[in-house]
Amino acid sequence: MVTSAAPPAQSPLDQKILEHFPGLVVRKDLTTELKQNAVVPTYVLEYLLGQHCATDDPALISEGLESVRRILAKHYVHRNQAELVKSTIKERGTHKVIDKLTVELNDKGGFYEVEFTNLGLKKVPIDVDFVKRYPKLLVGGIWAITDVEYELPADPKASPWQISSVKPIQVAGVDHDEFLKARAQFTTDEWMDVLMQSVGFNPEPFTRRGKLLTLIRLIPFCERNYNLLELGPKGTGKSHVYAEFSPHGMLISGSEVTAPKLFVSNANGKIGLVGYWDCICFDEFAGKDKKVDKTLVDIMKNYMANRTFSRGIEQLTAEASMVFMGNTQKSVAYMLKHSHFYEPLPDKYIDSAFLDRIHAFNPGWEVQPVRHELFCTGYGFVVDYIAEVLKHLRTEDYTGLYKPHFEISSEVSTRDQTGFEKTFSGLMKILHPNGKATPEEIAELLGFSMECRRRVREQILRIDDTFKANDFAYRPLTGGDAVTVLTPEEQQYPAFAGLRPLSSEAQPAAVEGPAVAAEPSVGQATKAAGKVQAAAPAESVAPAAVEVNVGSSASKQPPAIAAQLKEQHLVVPENAKGWSYRRLFADYLQGCSGIIIRDPYIRAFHQVRNLVEFLRMVNEITPIGDEVTVHLITGSDQETMEKQVENLGQVQDSFAGTSTPFTWEIDASPNFHARSISTDHGWKISLDRGLDFFQWFEFSPFNAAAVMQEARMVKGCEVNYIKTSA
């Protein structure tokens, strides 16, 4: 028996899934295990697992796993083993292969030819019946189990390779009535968790809102002509669903698409991707350096609004939904204060007419970064099964199911209403496929849908002053006050909300808030320039971990303090307490937008931890909506480099999207010894010990020294503050 097949303890939800969907579910950790050795879409693996491992019997699961492994080992084509597979086909005469097939028409010969993605075979003739039966072979290709034969032809120009059968890897069909009957056995909370597990995530670490932010990604599979935009930090699994979840979705690079490939080729009349796929996701859509065809943008605007596109004078229609995924580099507050959420997109897409066609803007910055503990180990649907269910639901229209309970404010525009109604319809199909929900559940989905459309609208207002602002509100028909829907970022940063196009002369005021006294720092507590032996601080000094309202005037450098900053030489005594990065550096860093740390010894774990504490301090003193970049130049050695690079990479990823984006480089120069902190507004702080001037302490959550730098003993060191420019 394969030890990895030993099942985890089944939760009550797992038992319920197995009871009501027998033969249609699979343990998701099995998918993860097999995925490590076979680079195929999840739906391909789960198609096989669904045939061999759709059970809770450990013995049958182990046996099924071995069967799937044998099938993959024998028939899945790895690129580096393509020649071996070809040899096997030649020697045996025929052999089954699992590969992705793409078909093109040989217009001179009048027949169709196949290209095998991994096997590397091209121009293999295929019977027209297969092409008619599976038209997606012509656009994007499909994964299939194919019988390939080899026989030397009499005509030396003909291909020796032949295809005798093609079986797409997908569920044959779904009994929708049986699906609805089984769904009725689950509460809404349970069903959300079932879907989360089916997508591959453990639902426990997610809040209810977090689940909605994940499940909204399924709407393009069940709602026709739905346009979704999601921007956020990298590593949040934005494209996971579109790459792995459904055989009806196509994931392409945002920079690789052309108008003929996407819509229609006027040269040969061939319909593009929108004619064959339910969902087309443009991955890596953001990026200022991407080349964009303005003609493509214009065609997309018309298609996204009217689902039509032209071939000459002929108007064609399609039902493919459009999804745009991209990474952000700035924090939410920074974008709100200085620009807008569309800023990462290529310039030609920052077009109010194009963006107004987006039905929902999913805030990717709220989605949890993908990490190991988020992956599901329980049972979920074989993804191909739920993909077929969602495809069936595309024929339904749930846009008006809220109307018996709520009315929408008359201020809402037609396009805004269309946007949030399509999102509402999609969420109802996903969570309540029978169309029945309580008024409270309907209100939740309606409010969330309006929020996602409001985000589209509010950001358009920042780039086009011809658009008018309006409230997004709904009122219960049973009576009561109207509910005005705001986005979380509007509530969190009210001073930056509702801004029109920004200019450097008209920046918003800082967020108001109570002043919080921070600890006195060197610029305030020390005397004039010269050698100063600093005394230990008074007991009233606030800890470094004090919460400071960085948007208030207390977090900025008052002019009086700025005037007191002078060049000086400071001696920190050995074994003293009460010292912190905030006390030593804060005043001299206030007002800068860039910092360079030169320290050859940010290598060991505790040294990287010190760096994180420094970044945290910079983040705390940075006003809300501003940004201070921090770049580290450090050294390394062969013994520690691998772990050092891993740790610094994690720091860089974790601070991406904050007010303190961090980058680093390694300087291998043998003469690199001096340690300093330099700012872009004219100060250099020379450190004889660098950031590593704290003595060892027990790293325990119950130890004050672990959470307060002032509680740690320091090593004796000297600090020089040097003005480098006026």
CATH class entry, domain 522-723: alpha beta
Degrees to nearest 5, angle at CA 9 with 8 and 10: 105
In sequence order, the 6+-apart residues with CB closer than 8 A to the CB of 539 are: none
- Residue 218: DSSP 8-state: G
The Cα 304–Cα 359 span in angstroms is 10
Instruction: Look at residue 522 in the predicted model and tell me its pLDDT.
Output: 59
The Cα 215–Cα 444 span in angstroms is 14
pLDDT of residue 233 exceeding 90, the answer is no
Q: What is the mean pLDDT of residues 458-480?
A: 92
- Joined together, the tokens standing for residue 73 give 């080992």
Degrees to nearest 5, angle at CA 230 with 214 and 243: 65
- Joined together, the tokens standing for residue 262 give 């996407």
Structural contact between residues 182 and 1, judged by C-beta atoms closer than 8 angstroms: no
Check residues 710 and 370 and name the one with the higher pLDDT: 710
Report the sign of the C-alpha dihedral through residues 329, 334, 338, 340, in that order.
positive
Beta-ladder partners of 143: 100
Residue entry with tokens 């920052």: 350
Q: Is 514 exposed, middle or buried (0-12, 13-18, 19+ CB in 10 A)?
A: exposed
Instruction: Look at residue 535 in the predicted model and tell me its pLDDT.
Output: 34
Taking the CB of residue 136, how many other CB atoms lie within 10 A of it?
20
The Cα 536–Cα 584 span in angstroms is 13
Beta-ladder partners of 406: 476
**Portion of the chain with pLDDT greater than 90, in percent:** 58
pLDDT of residue 266 exceeding 90, the answer is no
Going through 479-618 in order, the beta strands assigned E by DSSP cover: 483-484, 531-533, 568-572, 594-598
Distances (CA, A) of 278 to 142, 207, 220, 452, 585: 14, 29, 7, 22, 55
Domain limits, the chain: 79-168, 175-384, 398-492, 522-723
Structural contact between residues 270 and 264, judged by C-beta atoms closer than 8 angstroms: yes
657: left (phi over 0), alpha (psi -120 to 50) or beta: left
**Single-letter residue type at 38:** A
The Cα 674–Cα 679 span in angstroms is 16
Interval 576-625: pLDDT, tens = 999 999 999 999 999 999 999 999 999 999 999 999 999 999 999 999 99
Instruction: Look at residue 37 in the predicted model and tell me its pLDDT.
Output: 66
pLDDT of residue 512 exceeding 50, the answer is no
Structural contact between residues 336 and 489, judged by C-beta atoms closer than 8 angstroms: yes
In sequence order, the 6+-apart residues with CB closer than 8 A to the CB of 573 are: 533, 534, 714, 716
In sequence order, the 6+-apart residues with CB closer than 8 A to the CB of 641 are: 666
**Single-letter residue type at 51:** Q
The Cα 558–Cα 563 span in angstroms is 9
pLDDT of residue 725 exceeding 80, the answer is no
Instruction: Look at residue 690 in the predicted model and tell me its pLDDT.
Output: 93
The Cα 586–Cα 615 span in angstroms is 11
Report the sign of the C-alpha dihedral through residues 52, 53, 56, 61, in that order.
positive
Beta-ladder partners of 594: 629
pLDDT of residue 117 exceeding 50, the answer is yes
- Joined together, the tokens standing for residue 42 give 């999840």
The Cα 581–Cα 613 span in angstroms is 8
Structural contact between residues 598 and 633, judged by C-beta atoms closer than 8 angstroms: yes
Q: Which of 135, 193, 190 is nearest to 168 (CA)?
A: 135
Q: What is the mean pLDDT of residues 65-78?
A: 88
**Single-letter residue type at 704:** A
**Single-letter residue type at 368:** Q
Instruction: Look at residue 541 in the predicted model and tell me its pLDDT.
Output: 31
- Joined together, the tokens standing for residue 561 give 């303090």
Burial code (b: 16+ CB inside 10 Å, e: under 16) for 526-549 equals beeeeebebeebeeebbebeeebb
In sequence order, the 6+-apart residues with CB closer than 8 A to the CB of 78 are: 39, 118
Structural contact between residues 402 and 35, judged by C-beta atoms closer than 8 angstroms: no
Cα(first)–Cα(last) distance of the chain, in Å? 74
Instruction: Look at residue 42 in the predicted model and tell me its pLDDT.
Output: 80
The DSSP bridge pattern shows strands 483-484 and 676-679 to be unpaired
Taking the CB of residue 572, how many other CB atoms lie within 10 A of it?
21
Instruction: Look at residue 367 in the predicted model and tell me its pLDDT.
Output: 87
* Confidence band, pLDDT 50/70/90 cuts, at residue 361: very high
Backbone angles phi, psi at 380, to 5 degrees: -150, 170
- Joined together, the tokens standing for residue 133 give 């039966």
Structural contact between residues 715 and 695, judged by C-beta atoms closer than 8 angstroms: yes
Q: Which of 347, 342, 356 is nearest to 294 (CA)?
A: 347
Check residues 472 and 155 and name the one with the higher pLDDT: 472
CATH of domain 175-384: 3.40.50
Global confidence as pTM: 0.80
Instruction: Look at residue 80 in the predicted model and tell me its pLDDT.
Output: 85
Q: Of the given ranges (48-57, 336-345, 702-711), which has the lowest mean pLDDT?
A: 48-57
- Joined together, the tokens standing for residue 589 give 């860093």
Taking the CB of residue 658, how many other CB atoms lie within 10 A of it?
21
The greatest distance separating any two alpha carbons of the chain, rounded to the nearest whole angstrom, comes to 98
Taking the CB of residue 612, how many other CB atoms lie within 10 A of it?
15
Q: Which of 372, 376, 427, 374 is nearest to 399 (CA)?
A: 427
- Joined together, the tokens standing for residue 102 give 């793409």
Check residues 77 and 555 and name the one with the higher pLDDT: 77
- Joined together, the tokens standing for residue 167 give 């079986």
Across the chain, what does the average pLDDT equal? 86
pLDDT of residue 78 exceeding 90, the answer is no
The DSSP bridge pattern shows strands 227-232 and 321-327 to be parallel
Interval 91-112: pLDDT, tens = 999 999 999 999 999 888 889 9
Q: Of the given ranges (35-39, 99-103, 167-171, 202-206), which has the lowest mean pLDDT?
A: 35-39
Q: Is 561 exposed, middle or buried (0-12, 13-18, 19+ CB in 10 A)?
A: middle
pLDDT of residue 213 exceeding 70, the answer is yes
Taking the CB of residue 499, how many other CB atoms lie within 10 A of it?
18
Check residues 353 and 725 and name the one with the higher pLDDT: 353
Instruction: Look at residue 292 in the predicted model and tell me its pLDDT.
Output: 85
The Cα 128–Cα 134 span in angstroms is 10
CA 229 to centroid of chain Cα atoms: 11
